[in-house]
Structure 1
Amino acid sequence: MTNISPWLVLAGLGAFHGINPAMGWLFAVGLGLNRHSRRVVWLSLIPIAVGHTVSIAMVVAAVVTLGLIVDPRILNLAAGAMLLGWALYYALYGHRHRVRVGMRTGLVGLGLWSFMMATAHGAGLMLLPVVIPLCLSASPSHELLAAGSLPISLAAVAVHAGATLAVTAAVAGIVYEWAGLAFLRRGWINLDLIWTAALAATGLFLIL
């Protein structure tokens, strides 16, 4: 954990997720405006953060578990192929499978929506180039366990989720209090296109 670079990457990916309106801040602001309540905006951030965290934690847990029995090189190839496949699917069909939740949803429904959106975007998959070398640096199982793979995995999830929550809260607060949603009509960066390209580039990086 002495090398700070992987942690900065995890935080950077979390910040990107936080900026993306599809990951939650737009929903939080929309709920707040719909119910005319600043409190609703901040309460909405809790299930959004929980849903996102559970989604990426499941991916990290699966990868670390596989790393106990699968050679890291094979794991890299498999993860790379999965990322490329996910990028292709998302580019072709992602816009057709939006998770729709009404403005009358409760906190549980919002948490489920956040989990499904993060999973559909492949949020956890993007962490693999960092998680694999960070948590699976040793090869035999007993060395992995002795090196503290579980605490490092939990720390990786916490850093990413914390950055996501911080940026989501900051953007939601700025938009709700000052900017409003009108700026989205004037133009917004196509973050889905950037995300698809990032998925594909990360997949190629793992394979090559």
Structure 2
Amino acid sequence: MSSTTALWLSIVAIGAWHGLNPAMGWPLAVANGLTERRGRAVFATLLPLGAGHLAAMAVALVPFSWLLGYLSWRHAIQLAAGALVVLYGVYKLVQPRHPRALARIRPTQLAWWSFLAASAHGAGLMLVPFMLGLCAQEPHAPGGLAAAHATVMDQLARSSVGIALAVAALHTLATLLAAAIAAWAVYRYLGLSYVSRAWFNLDRVWAGSLVVAGAAGIVGAL
């Protein structure tokens, strides 16, 4: 398996992990389905949650992709991004509380809630090392000509934003699929009472995931 394939698969796996995590919002979809007594309401609720998650991913990833335009700083940017993700993970280990502001958002503002929840949990930051790894894989210029090489480098710098948006989109699709499976299983078969009885606290696991993602970015940049 190539390193590029491994990075894309990691992005999909992280998306599935985000979707299964109840902190990203799928219990809200279950509650809405139970309130309206319609299965369609479960999936309808997931759409604004997915939109907010996508926006949060893009806001976190695109600024780092712009920074990669400074090709001479690329290595330092990768190391700094990895260190930032590790530090945020450590912070979440020490301070796992959820922001109180999330509880004050009206139910009609699901996309806004999802955006803030994903941002507060550092969900976008978790993807940064993998996105940077994809952007750092430079194509080879044909013929080895200096002019062609300069053109390729220029295109690479400008295409980093496209890679960031592609990462955000693929990741969000995986998140929505996993969230839909979890929400439907709880709505149709298990019930919300099962979640309160059987689900364990994922805050420390989530924080550990941030630390692992950041460490992977640092190792990949060395």
Q: TM-score, normalised by structure 2?
A: 0.82
SS of the equivalent of 1:86 reads helix
Distance 1:198-1:144 versus aligned 2 partners, 3 A rule: farther
Hey, what does 1:100 align to over in structure 2? 103
2:171 is equivalent to residue 169 of structure 1: no
Hey, what does 1:81 align to over in structure 2? 83
Once residues 185 and 214 of structure 2 are traced to their aligned partners in structure 1, the CA distance between those partners, rounded to angstroms, is 34
Hey, what does 1:121 align to over in structure 2? 121
Shift of 1:18: 0.7
Once residues 195 and 16 of structure 1 are traced to their aligned partners in structure 2, the CA distance between those partners, rounded to angstroms, is 9
Structure 1 segments (4+ residues) deviating >4 Å: 139-142
Hey, what does 1:135 align to over in structure 2? 135
Once residues 204 and 171 of structure 1 are traced to their aligned partners in structure 2, the CA distance between those partners, rounded to angstroms, is 29
Once residues 88 and 154 of structure 2 are traced to their aligned partners in structure 1, the CA distance between those partners, rounded to angstroms, is 30
The residue type paired with residue 201 of structure 2 is N
Contact 1:52–1:115 (CA under 8 A) maintained in structure 2 = yes
Number of residue-to-residue matches in the alignment: 204
Distance 1:96-1:53 versus aligned 2 partners, 3 A rule: closer
Shift of 1:128: 1.6
Distance 1:101-1:169 versus aligned 2 partners, 3 A rule: farther
Once residues 138 and 116 of structure 2 are traced to their aligned partners in structure 1, the CA distance between those partners, rounded to angstroms, is 32
Distance 1:23-1:155 versus aligned 2 partners, 3 A rule: same
The residue type paired with residue 143 of structure 1 is V
Distance 1:144-1:175 versus aligned 2 partners, 3 A rule: farther
Hey, what does 2:11 align to over in structure 1? 10
SS of the equivalent of 1:137 reads coil
Hey, what does 1:202 align to over in structure 2? 213
Shift of 1:161: 0.7
Shift of 1:87: 1.5
Once residues 119 and 152 of structure 1 are traced to their aligned partners in structure 2, the CA distance between those partners, rounded to angstroms, is 20
Contact 1:137–1:144 (CA under 8 A) maintained in structure 2 = no
The residue type paired with residue 19 of structure 2 is G
Distance 1:153-1:84 versus aligned 2 partners, 3 A rule: closer
Distance 1:120-1:92 versus aligned 2 partners, 3 A rule: same
Let me know the Cα RMSD of the aligned residues: 2.3
Once residues 117 and 165 of structure 1 are traced to their aligned partners in structure 2, the CA distance between those partners, rounded to angstroms, is 15
Distance 1:155-1:207 versus aligned 2 partners, 3 A rule: closer
Contact 1:80–1:207 (CA under 8 A) maintained in structure 2 = yes
The residue type paired with residue 66 of structure 1 is L
Shift of 1:164: 0.4
Once residues 151 and 121 of structure 2 are traced to their aligned partners in structure 1, the CA distance between those partners, rounded to angstroms, is 34
Once residues 125 and 60 of structure 1 are traced to their aligned partners in structure 2, the CA distance between those partners, rounded to angstroms, is 7
Shift of 1:141: 8.4
